[in-house]
Amino acid sequence: MSARPSNNYPSELRERAIRMFGEIRPEYTSDWAACQSVADKLGIGAPQTLLNWVRKAQVDAGQRPGMTSAEAAELRRLRAENKQLRTANEILRTASAFFAAAELDRRLG
């Protein structure tokens, strides 16, 4: 399952599709069959897309194990911050070495 949110469909359509899935699921023998039906009715290109949305909604609601959308967003934010801090540290190390060498040259020269 992809970690990226799907922006190809409006959020209202996603919410409606998930709600419809929940309403009609008891009428079908599998999640896949219910997803195919809802996807056909709403013009969603691939039933797998809807199944991904349903699974993510179930995780977010605590009905299925996994990383919630909020946790995934926090992890992305922390990774980006970590990357920025690593870059800043590398810049500081390079600058420190440059100024240390300049000070050494000044003292020796």
Q: Are residues 52 and 75 in the same domain?
A: no
Assess contact for 35 and 54: CB atoms under 8 A: yes
Q: Do 7 and 50 share a domain, yes or no? A: yes
* pLDDT of amino acid 1: 46
Angle at 77 between CA 48 and CA 87, to 5 degrees: 125
What per-residue confidence (pLDDT) applies to 102? 81
Please state the φ and ψ torsions of residue 70, each to the nearest 5 degrees.
-65, -40
Same domain, 59 and 13: yes
Answer whether residue 6 shows pLDDT above 60: no
Domains of the chain: total: 2
CATH code assigned at 27: 1.10.10.10
Decide if 77 contacts 65 (C-beta within 8 A): no
Can you give the pLDDT at residue 109?
67
The pLDDT assigned to 4 comes to 53
Q: Considering the entire predicted model, what is its pTM?
A: 0.69
- 39/16 same-domain check: yes
Q: Check whether residue 51 and residue 101 sit in a common domain.
A: no
Beta carbons within 10 angstroms of residue 107's beta carbon: 7
Question: Do both 46 and 58 map to the same domain?
Answer: yes
Is the predicted pLDDT of residue 93 greater than 60, yes or no? yes
62 and 107, same domain (yes or no): no
pLDDT digits (tens, 9 = 90+) for 15-64: 999 999 999 999 999 999 999 999 999 999 999 999 999 999 999 999 99
DSSP calls for the chain: --SSPP-SS-HHHHHHHHHHHHHHGGGSSSHHHHHHHHHHHHT-S-HHHHHHHHHHHHHHTTSS-S--HHHHHHHHHHHHHHHHHHHHHHHHHHHHHHHHHHHHHHHH-
Question: Which residues constitute the domain of residue 35?
Answer: 1-66
Q: Do residue 12 and residue 62 come from a single domain?
A: yes
Looking at the structure, tell me whether residues 91 and 109 fall in a common domain: yes
